[in-house]
Amino acid sequence: MQEKIKIMKIKFDSVTLKEATQKAIDFAKDKKQHYITTPNPEILLEAQKNNKFHKVLNKSDLNVPDGIGILWAAKYLDITKNTHSKFIKLIKWFFSLATIPFYPKYIRTVLKERVTGVDLTQEICKESANSSMKIFLLGSAEGVAEKTAKILKKKYPGTRIVGTYAGTPKIEDEKTIIKMINDKKPRILFVAYGAPKQEMWIARNLKKMPTVRLAAGIGGTFNFITGRRKRAPEWMQKIGLEWVYRLIQQPSRIKRMINASIVFPIKIISSS
């Protein structure tokens, strides 16, 4: 049985990108319907004040850690699970946080690795080409999903992206979107409306799309694939400084960055 790690009462799967990809492909081939979520620290904070969202995350068939903060939290909770002294917990809190940029391997012993929505989406598309499974891309700004489809088809020959649509996560638009998806009969559906809207959309509508075997909420993935947003260099991703790179690109994200890098660690120690 696959190991489950709980952080803020949200279940996570301890998987590598390769393992998550294989699991996703297995879901897409299954007779049952499945969905995947990619929680990061900001998503966990939202789930603490949104009970419906909390339940949707925990009903997911696969929750992968999309954020270095999630790996850190899993490690910190593990090394303090038998610690009762608040002072010792505080020492371990500072120590574990300090290891993120200086010894990043340390926090990768509970949850195996960070699995981003961008990487998982691309790997699923790559592997799906071997089975000729139909894919539908939903969300992002007008024209972005279409451009994403062109890039993925070129990058992974054989990928069958049969439809794209921006649409909105509004309930009044669901009927039109669902009909569009059902007309194309995809087995895989990527939804890029951002959390928690995309997860709530999937939870409400998955059963209305009978051919879809795998749905995944993937946030800003289409923006990264098309180059509308640049990913941080790999070395910055490994040592947990991707948030600095993104903040430079989008200063308007300052509140979100504070939540992920300051509020989240404080919430973890206060709840441990």
Residue 237 reports pLDDT greater than 80: no
Determine the pLDDT at residue 216. Answer: 98
Determine the pLDDT at residue 252. Answer: 72
CA distance 238 to 236: 5
Q: pLDDT class for 232, splitting at 50, 70, 90? A: low
Per-residue pLDDT tens for 72-94?
999 999 999 999 999 999 999 99
Mean pLDDT of 119-128: 97
- Strands (E) in 71-145, as ranges, are 134-139
Cα–Cα distances (Å) from 105 to 29, 51, 136, 188, in that order, read: 34, 33, 36, 33
Determine the pLDDT at residue 230. Answer: 76
Domains of the chain as residue ranges with CATH? 4-66+114-226 (3.40.50.2300), 68-113+230-271 (no CATH)
Cα–Cα distances (Å) from 123 to 16, 87, 90, 97, 246, in that order, read: 12, 43, 39, 30, 23
Q: pLDDT class for 243, splitting at 50, 70, 90? A: low
Mean pLDDT of 235-260: 71
Determine the pLDDT at residue 1. Answer: 47
Radius of gyration of the chain (CA): 19
Amino acid identity for residue 13 in this structure: D
CA 83 to chain centre: 31
Per-residue pLDDT tens for 131-163?
889 999 999 999 999 999 999 999 999 999 999
Copy the structure tokens of residue 44: 């966990």
Amino acid identity for residue 176 in this structure: T
Q: pLDDT > 90: what percent of the chain?
A: 82
Residue 197 reports pLDDT greater than 60: yes
CA 120 to chain centre: 8
Per-residue pLDDT tens for 88-114?
999 999 999 999 988 999 999 999 999
Structural contact between residues 208 and 178, judged by C-beta atoms closer than 8 angstroms: yes
More confident residue, 224 or 239: 224
**pTM (predicted TM-score):** 0.92
Amino acid identity for residue 109 in this structure: T
CA distance 60 to 256: 24
Structural contact between residues 152 and 161, judged by C-beta atoms closer than 8 angstroms: yes
